[in-house]
Chain A
C-alpha cells in the first residue's frame, strides 16, 4: 500500500443555509479544497451523504456533483453509512490512492437538512426500521438509553454530561465556520428543553446544512506541491457492530469504535497516548464519553471525570473536538466525517488560529453511524 497525503481542504460555513441547495454546498466545499490544494488533476471523487433522498428528494448524487463541479467524465461515487458516510468517503478515497489506482482523489461530504423535510423521521432511517423505529424510538431516544445505562452502571451524572456540551461550545465559539459560535453554561444545558430523558436540547447536535471536502494524493503528487506542510494519513480503519441497540451486550460499549481504533493504532504504529488532538463523534454528549472509553482515552466509566479535569479542553493535555464538535460546529450528517479531517489537517498545518493546539503533530478522527453500528478511525501525522 502506498502513502497517502492530504493536500487540500475546504468547507462551507455550517448552519441553516437557506440560500444554498444540496449541489451548491458540495460544489462550494469541493472548489475550496481544489483551490487550497492548487492541483488541477482529479482522477475520481466520492460524495459522502446520508439521505439526500429523504431530505431533498435527490438521489444519484455522485454523477450530479461531478457534473456541477465541471469534472465529468471522472468516476464519482456516493457513499452512504448514515452519519459515518463522510468518514467512509475519505477512507474510500484513501484506499483508491493507497492501492495505486489513482493519484489525486476528492473526498467530500454533504447534507442539506434544512429544506422542509421531517428531519427526525429522515434520520431514523439509520436505525433499525423493523425493530427500533417501528416502536417509535428516535435517535435522541436511543442515545438516552445509552446515557441511562452509563449513569446506572458508572454513576455518571447529569452535570457531567452537560460539561461535554459546555466544552464543545467553548471551542465552537473560536471557529468562524461553526453553527453556534457562542459559549453556554452548565445551568443552560440543565434547564434546556427535555428531548429524551436524560438528554436535553443542549446535549444534542443540531440540524445543519453544510459540506466539507479534502483532496488526497500520492506521495509523488504531494511531493511536487509547495503550498502546505504535508499531512499524511497513517491509518484508515473501519469496523461494524450490531445494528440495533437491543442486540448489544453492553449498551455503554461502542464495539465498532474500539475495533476501528485498535486497527488504526496498529496501522499507524501509534497508541492513544501519542495523540495531540482528537475529533470525536459527539452527536449527543453521551456519545463523546462512550467514544473516549472505547478508544482507551479513559477507562470504562472514567471519561466524564476526565472531561471535568479540563484535560480535553483546549489548553489541556489532549484537546477533544477543537472544532466545536458536532454539538457546536454543527452536524450535517454526511459531511461531519470529512469536516473532522478538515479540522485536524488545519491543526496539523498550524493554521487553526485561536483554537490552535500548540505543537500538534498527531491527530485522530472518529466518525460513527447510527448508534455506532459503523465507525471509521483515521490517524493523521503532520510534519515534525
Chain B
C-alpha cells in the first residue's frame, strides 16, 4: 500500500472507526461522504 493511502486510513485500520449518520443512524464502515440510507452528509465517528 502507498504511504499516503496508509496514513489516510489509519482511523479505520487501527481504531476500526466507522461513520455514524446523524440523519438516520446508519453505520458505515468504511466511512462515506454521503449516507446511502438517507442521503445525509453529516456523520459522527463511532468505534
Interface residues of A (CB under 8 A from B): 18-19, 21, 24, 27-28, 31, 56, 67-70, 72, 114-117
Contacts and interface: CB of A to CB of B under 8 A. Distances in A.
B22 to A, nearest CB: 15
A53 B3 CA distance: 17
Contacts of B3: 116
A67 B36 CA distance: 8
Interface residues of B, number: 13
A139 B21 CA distance: 45
Contact of B8 (A21, A67, A68, A72): A21
A24 B4 CA distance: 14
B5 A21 contact: yes
Given A21-B5, A115-B5, A117-B2, 8 more contacts: A18-B8, A27-B34, A28-B33, A31-B33, A56-B2, A68-B33, A114-B4, A116-B3
A68 B41 CA distance: 11
Contacts of A70: 32, 34-36, 39
Contacts of A19: 8
A69 B36 CA distance: 8
A117 B3 CA distance: 11
Contacts of B35: 70
A215 to B, nearest CB: 15
Contacts of A116: 2-5
A114 B7 CA distance: 14
Main secondary structure of the interface of B (DSSP, over half): loop
A70 B34 CA distance: 6
Contacts of B34: 27, 31, 68-70
B7 to A, nearest CB: 8
A115 B3 CA distance: 8
Interface in B1-29: 2-5, 7-8
Contact of B36 (A21, A24, A72, A114): A72
B17 to A, nearest CB: 15
Nearest to A21: B8
22 contacts: A18-B4, A18-B7, A18-B8, A19-B8, A21-B5, A27-B32, A27-B33, A31-B33, A31-B34, A31-B41, A56-B2, A67-B36, A68-B32, A68-B33, A68-B34, A69-B34, A70-B32, A115-B2, A115-B4, A116-B3, A116-B4, A116-B5
B16 to A, nearest CB: 18
Contacts of B4: 18, 114-116
In the complex, the 6 A-B pairs of residues with the closest C-beta atoms, listed nearest first: A116-B2, A70-B34, A70-B36, A27-B33, A115-B2, A115-B4
A256 B33 CA distance: 39
B47 to A, nearest CB: 20
B19 to A, nearest CB: 12
B11 to A, nearest CB: 12
A170 to B, nearest CB: 32
Contacts of B32: 27, 68, 70
Nearest to B33: A27
| Most chain B C-beta atoms within 10 Å of own C-beta, residue among A56, A72, A116 | A116
A18 B8 CA distance: 8
A24 B33 CA distance: 7
Contacts of A31: 33-34, 41
